[in-house]
């Protein structure tokens, strides 16, 4: 059986993991490779990206590493060029990098707001800025941006910077989808709901009173299906959107949340 991403070249930003376990980016990179893609694993933490790359190579996949800051224009220009140098083209840009910080407009610092905008929002602008001309010259390409249901829903505590930047990710994706549709380029979002990932455990425990186990239990209980999703649920959704099976889908926001956004409370 032909693999979904056979010989396609995929950039995955945030392909490392902030702590032990399967992050969204690491799972996506590994899954793309399992489906035949040649992957550029990108992360600011080179060691973590190397760990992801080693997993892919151990399974017989093809992967290279690029260490860079997604909010730095020069790094992102070099990232796209490194992809061309290694693989000769670019078929899929998977923008996974994101950070979560809590607080409303009064509680959150300006530094927090600016950090969230740079990492969650400006990074998408920069990666697309340099990837799109390559895809346009090829006459094809796919962009998958990881957003969040926080763009549309109150999730139990003030989350203004994160929510605003994830809403911007959806709007940016829709703009690109329309502008580049006739040029053979598709752009879509995946919006995860409550996921059990290293970032959630690391960045959100304090918002739940500092007890990680209590936080996880509460978040599981809030999901209509009775459990949170994980990085593989997000990765499989992204794989579908990146594949030719989604050839007529662009500008959409695929919600992966076990029904959470359908609840009133």
Distances in whole angstroms, Cα of residue 94 to Cα of each of 209, 238, 246 = 33, 8, 15
Q: Which range is least confidently modeled, 19-23, 95-99, 168-172, 245-249?
A: 19-23
**Cβ(195)–Cβ(22) under 8 Å?**
no
Q: Collapsing DSSP states into helix, strand and coil, what is residue 247?
A: coil
For the beta sheet containing 62-67, the strands, ordered from the edge strand earlier in sequence to the opposite edge, are 62-67, 38-43, 9-13, 92-95, 141-146, 185-192, 253-256
Instruction: State the average pLDDT over residues 21-30.
Output: 95
Instruction: State the average pLDDT over residues 240-244.
Output: 98
Q: Which residues are catalytic?
A: 162
Instruction: State the average pLDDT over residues 189-203.
Output: 88
d(CA 10, CA 3): 14
Instruction: State the average pLDDT over residues 229-245.
Output: 97
Q: Which fold has domain 9-195+233-249?
A: Rossmann fold (3.40.50)
pLDDT score, position 265: 66
- Domain ranges (residues) in the chain: 9-195+233-249
d(CA 150, CA 160): 9
pLDDT score, position 236: 98
18 confidence band (pLDDT: 50, 70, 90): confident
**Cβ(26)–Cβ(16) under 8 Å?**
yes
Instruction: State the average pLDDT over residues 233-256.
Output: 98
Tokens representing 49?
């990206």
pLDDT score, position 167: 98
105: number of Cβ within 10 Å: 10
Tens-digit pLDDT profile for residues 76-118? 999 999 999 999 999 999 999 999 999 999 999 999 999 999 9
pLDDT score, position 79: 98
pTM across the whole model: 0.95
Inform me whether the pLDDT recorded for 38 exceeds 70: yes
DSSP single-letter state for residue 259: T
Comparing 199 with 107, the larger pLDDT belongs to: 107
Portion of the chain with pLDDT greater than 70, in percent: 100
């Amino acid at each position: 059986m032909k693999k979904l991403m056979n010989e396609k070249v995929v950039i995955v930003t945030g392909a490392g993991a902030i702590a032990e376990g399967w992050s969204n980016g690491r799972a996506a990179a590994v899954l793309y490779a399992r489906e035949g893609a040649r992957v550029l694993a990108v992360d600011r933490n080179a060691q973590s990206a190397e760990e992801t790359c080693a997993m892919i190579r151990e399974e017989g996949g093809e992967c290279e590493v690029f260490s860079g800051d997604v909010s730095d224009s020069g790094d992102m220009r070099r990232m796209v060029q490194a992809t061309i140098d290694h693989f000769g083209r670019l078929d899929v840009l998977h923008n996974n990098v994101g950070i979560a910080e809590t607080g409303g407009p009064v509680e959150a610092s300006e530094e927090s707001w600016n950090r969230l905008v740079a990492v969650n929002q400006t990074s998408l602008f920069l990666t697309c800025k340099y990837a799109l001309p390559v895809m346009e010259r090829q006459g094809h390409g796919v962009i998958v941006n990881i957003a969040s249901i926080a763009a549309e829903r109150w999730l139990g505590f003030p989350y203004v910077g994160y929510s605003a930047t994830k809403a911007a990710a959806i709007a940016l994706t829709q703009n690109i989808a329309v502008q580049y549709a006739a040029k053979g380029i598709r752009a879509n979002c995946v919006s995860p709901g409550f996921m059990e990932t290293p970032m959630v455990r690391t960045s959100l425990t304090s918002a739940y009173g500092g007890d990680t186990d209590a936080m996880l239990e509460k978040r599981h209980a809030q999901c209509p299906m009775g459990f949170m999703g994980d990085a593989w649920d997000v990765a499989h959704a992204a794989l579908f959107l990146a594949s030719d099976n989604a050839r007529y889908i662009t500008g959409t926001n695929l919600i992966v949340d076990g029904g959470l956004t359908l609840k009133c409370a």
